[in-house]
Amino acid sequence: MIVNCEECGKRYQIDPDKIQGRQARFTCKGCGHMVTVSTPTKAPGPEPTRRIEPSAEMPEVKKRKKSKETKKEKGGGKAAVPKRLGLRFKMILLFFLVPILCIAAAGWLYIQQLNRLSSLINEESARVVNQLAEQTIGEIARSVADECAVYLKTHPGLPETRFNEDPEFREIAVQKVGKTGYTALYELPGADKIWRTWAHENPGIIGIDMSTLKGPLGKSFPGFWKVYAGVSEGKESKGYYTWQDKDKQFRDKFMVCTHVKGTPYIIAATTYIHEFTQPVKELASEAAVQTKRTRNVLLAIVIGTIVLIGALVSFYGHRLTQRIRYLTDAAERISVGELEMDIETPSNDEIGDLGEAISRMQDSIRLSIERLRRRR
């Protein structure tokens, strides 16, 4: 049997079998009021009023269950709603997981764009440098051809067999291109259809049939011959071919062959293309290193941000849930009649306002009980 104190509303569970007679009394532990308990069944005769000790107070969980069962029996209660997600979990979800996913996605996109930009710059730089190198080699070939045309016009008696022996003409016809490249002069084939070179840095090929180099040049010959013999009347020939250097390595060379005006001769300008592109490749390697460093720094920043946000959300969420649980416990204790407890509100935010509101509610209930007691 449940008995309520008329003064403070505190509840007690009484065993009816311990009540002797029609009534029994005990003192409320909360306010000191004398509570009178009547027996639920009528006794056959008057019995003296006796004083009994109340049983222990009901646990909070049991009280709530009894209250809910009573409400359900009366038809005015609602079924308990099961808890789904706690406040702390919601804070972690909204203020940690979602921002972290956004930061991680933004960091990944930034790294991808950085790598793409680095690759694009390297590719475009190499392409532009190649174009500039090709233009430079072509300009050198045309410039040498013009100089040779002027010299041959002013020296009409110079035979072609002496082109490589004449120091002045050789200095004009054989010039340096890049670091290791050079220019050379050869003649269009006549009735015998033989291509011959008359000015070259290698005296061993002067006057020979150039097609006989097929054996010594091996795999390099087809590409070389395609550009060398590709000139037509009034048009230049240019292109890449593979050449084996002295260190036995094959590298790409670029050659431009242009006509010497008014003569049957051709000026060829050739050099290794890597002599122009090597600085760009070194720059690309340095850019790759810098890109990797930037990516590592960005990853470190993202990871540090994740750790910092996680620590802040966890710390603040823990403090917030602790305060809410404290106020919830205080409200529960007030609901069962503990009106003398002190409610601390250390914060000056909305949680502090809630604590002050509960404290005012506690004072209001206490004053209402005191007024009711004075009236009685």
**pLDDT-based confidence at 64, cuts 50/70/90?**
very low
Q: Give the model confidence (pLDDT) of 350-367 as tens digits.
A: 888 888 888 888 888 888
**Would you mind telling me the total number of residues written for the chain in this entry?**
376
The DSSP symbol for 33 reads P
Let me know: does 56 contact 31? Beta carbons within 8 Å.
no
Crossing angle, helix 98-154 and helix 274-335, to 10 degrees?
170
**pLDDT tens-place string over residues 193-221:** 999 999 999 999 999 999 998 888 888 89
The DSSP symbol for 128 reads H
Alpha-carbon distance of 149 to 113, in angstroms, equals 53
Question: What is the per-residue pLDDT for 70?
Answer: 45
Run of H or E including 24:
strand 23-27
pLDDT of 150 higher than 80: yes
Closest CA to 102 of 305, 350, 270, 371: 305
Is the pTM of the predicted complex or chain greater than 0.75?
no
Angle at 28 between CA 24 and CA 30, to 5 degrees: 170
DSSP H helical ranges for 238-345 = 274-335
Q: Is the pLDDT of residue 164 over 50?
A: yes
Determine the CATH number of domain 113-281: 3.30.450.20
pLDDT(76) > 60: no
The total of other beta-carbon atoms located within 10 Å of residue 271's CB is: 22
d(CA 49, CA 195): 143
pLDDT at residue number 151: 94
User: Who has greater pLDDT, 249 or 45?
Assistant: 249
Alpha carbon distances (Å) from 182 to 163, 203, 264, 268, 310: 16, 14, 20, 8, 66
Boundaries of every domain in the chain? 2-74, 113-281
pLDDT at 43 over 60: no
pLDDT of residue 90 exceeding 60: yes
Residues 6+ apart with CB under 8 A from 357: none
Residue with tokens 């390099």: 220
Whether the per-residue pLDDT at 72 is higher than 60: the answer is no
